[in-house]
Amino acid sequence: GLPAEIAVVEPTGADTQLYCRVNGQEVTAMLRDRVTCRPGDRIALTPDPSRAHLFDAASGSRLTM
């Protein structure tokens, strides 16, 4: 997985959003479960490419792969 450091943990109902740093880049991960982690924790993210959404940092537009 991608080594990531958690910056913010945001429970949103049944899901949890993790705002992380991966290789100096900001990454948001949406988890379909509640998780017990906190800012500063280091985790490994294993994204599913078929469910990933990428955005242009300058414009905010979604990128199509």
Digit-coded pLDDT (tens) for 9-42: 999 988 999 999 999 999 999 998 888 899 999 9
pLDDT value of residue 61 = 94
The CATH architecture to which 2-63 belongs is Beta Barrel (2.40)
How many CB atoms neighbour CB 20 within 10 A?
23
- Name the token pair of 22: 């991966």
CA distance 51 to 24: 22
Q: What is the pTM of this model?
A: 0.80
pLDDT value of residue 14 = 86
Dihedral, CA of residue 34, residue 37, residue 38 and residue 39, to nearest 10: -110
- Using left for φ > 0, alpha for ψ between -120 and 50, and beta otherwise, residue 40 falls in left
